[in-house]
Structure 1
Amino acid sequence: MKKYLILFVLGMFGLATKAQKPIYFMGDGVVNDASRATSYGIYGKLSTEDVWVLKRYDLYDNLMQTGSYKDENLTIPHGQFVFYMDLAYFNMLGKENFKLKNKTRFKYQEGSFVDGLEQGTWTLFYPDGNILNIQNYKNGKLDGEFKTLDRYGRIVVIGHFVNGKKEGEWITEKGTKVELYEQDVLKSTKSVKAEKDRQQTKS
């Protein structure tokens, strides 16, 4: 099954790339022995740009990720990346019960690298396509708004990073707690629910 998929992908890949090659991974490391591989990929250099494009699959031929690199050894990610996840695995991790019609996998995460470092907005998704998390990067460090939502779009956590460190007000636990940070150091915590209860008691 795998060899037929490789041939098919190589044929389709040839429209945009040249010198397509198979590559084998054990974990995240590259191995030469295909029998030791835990996943494999097809990669080739774009004919119009100086980047190498990779499509990576598990041993059941499920697409795991797509992305591009600045080098043939695939050590410097550069450009848009998309990662995919198994639905049953997601449900098990999050104790969820999502169901997808005629699908067992979904797009879980997407974002961009520039010269090997995360850059701009990275987004995680629920199986139904709703946003799970938004995080922003600058030169490989979290920088800007960070937000986690539940499956219904309600904010669970929201705050800001500056140069990889939490800064300012963070609202957590679905809006019931407010934390104040200065350069990643927690300065104060208060319960929003407790504050509301005190105000109601006074009135």
Structure 2
Amino acid sequence: MSKSIAVIDYGMGNLRSVSKAIEHVAGAHDKIHVTDDPELILQADRVVFPGQGAARDCMAAISKHHLNRAVLKAAETKPFLGICMGMQVLMRFSEENQGTPLMGLFEGQVKHFPESRDAEGHRLKIPQMGWNRVKQTLDHPLWEGIDDDTRFYFVHSYYVDPEDRELVAGTTDYGIPFTSVIARDNLFATQFHPEKSADAGLRLLQNFVNWDI
């Protein structure tokens, strides 16, 4: 049976890479729509919410495209994958720009990495940019076929700190341990970019396309 997959376009995401990666793993008859149409998003069988850039700009763009309701409704009712900023804005508040209110689907904050050093004493660069391991802390269908401690590709200066620790489905160390994946019911969201994470990222996207909640 064919599926429709909406990739939300609010002008702030690596949309071509995300949509091409999903096309690569989707079925021949699946339909991928890169769209800012709220109705098309709500009609889709599953939704991908990518994003990058600053939190305040992201929230302004979501409002400009009249996507607040559609994003929250999709996140509550159908298979939903948040990526990078598409994960962070699900929290209540970000430290970025001296404080930015977010969408508030989950209680928690988005915090800036503190200055820290690696095991050899070298200062860790911010943003974290490159490959890092993800420790799987929750059994989940989207981890199927992906080994624990697999490396994924990150680009970010901020990380999520959810109040409900039962949301945490993966953690990563970058000077401090931080939440790199959250999951609840129909929602799965990653700080890393699966579309840039080689075979493991493609497997995660394939698992999402085939996810039967």
Normalised to the residue count of structure 2, the TM-score between the two structures is: 0.25
Richer in helix (by share): 2
Higher relative CO (Cα under 8 Å, sequence separation at least 6) belongs to 2
Instruction: Identify the structure with the greater strand proportion.
Output: 1
Tell which structure's C-alpha radius of gyration is larger. Answer: 1
